[in-house]
Amino acid sequence: MQPCYRHSGRETGVSCSNCGRAICPDCMTTTSVGMRCPECSKQKTKVKSIGTGSDPVLTYILIGINVAIALGATLSGASATGGGGAGSSTLLSEGSVSRLTVEGGEYWRILTAGFLHVGFLHLLFNMFSLYILGGMLEPAIGRMRFAVIYFVSLLAGSFGALLLTTDPTVGASGAIFGLMGAAVVVMRNRGVDPMESGLGVWIGLNLLITFTIPNISIGGHIGGLLGGAVAALLLFELPDRVRMPAVAPALLACAVGAAAIIGSIAVASSASAV
């Protein structure tokens, strides 16, 4: 809880959706884009979005890495149409994640699987989603917090995939779903309705595809969605409710990623013992 910027003796959990200053009930003005402070409520131009206008550099870097690895996989024998699955090339078979490989000590696959794709359409769909979500989210929350959410989501997606299937799994979908979950949390935190933005419909359609089309990693998608949402809650909602050092939310979010790694190893080990 923070004190209202105009009434220092009043603590509040609400902040202005435009400037971010803490405001008490007497200072709140309800607008179509959330609560505003008295000064911002008088502004008649420039409606606030969750973005700041800076370039999403990390998003572009992640897209570049995924595309470069996809080209490498193609050169090592992978089919552009996705034929042969995760075992169609050396790069895919050495980087995909499965219970058997993780149980054998190849823990790096929990991370590398999130940078591999089976076929051009798989890559295109995920990179288009990353371009849209990253372009919206990274400028709004900053590069470091975006990186934390992305990699926590990726690791949580690998954990979810291992939890529900024994088949080798690849793809950035877990991280993409995590960005969707995080975007909902950030929008609500900034006073923006996710349904009005169309994000809620997008998530619903992607979940429908997840549960109706064969050969899609349900565990990877749901795990990533939950991981990204939890990371965003720790980064943006928890500091508004609990007084803590500035670095604590990021450390707690990283701990979610660490828990996903530990869970992945535990699932693989327990499966081999059955």
Of the candidates 15, 173, 217, 264, the residue annotated as catalytic is 173
Of the candidates 88, 122, 129, 221, the residue annotated as catalytic is 221
Cα separation values, 49 from 84, 150, 186, Å:
43, 21, 11
Q: What are the respective helix, strand and coil percentages of the chain, to the nearest 5?
A: 65, 5, 30
Q: Which of 228, 210, 208 is nearest to 219 (CA)?
A: 210
With 0-12 / 13-18 / 19 or more C-beta atoms within 10 angstroms meaning exposed / middle / buried, residue 77 is middle
Q: Confirm if 234 and 149 have CB atoms less than 8 A apart.
A: no
Q: Is 76 a catalytic residue?
A: no
32 contacts: CB under 8 Å, gap ≥ 6: none
d(CA 173, CA 166): 18
Q: Is 221 a catalytic residue?
A: yes
Catalytic center residues:
173, 221
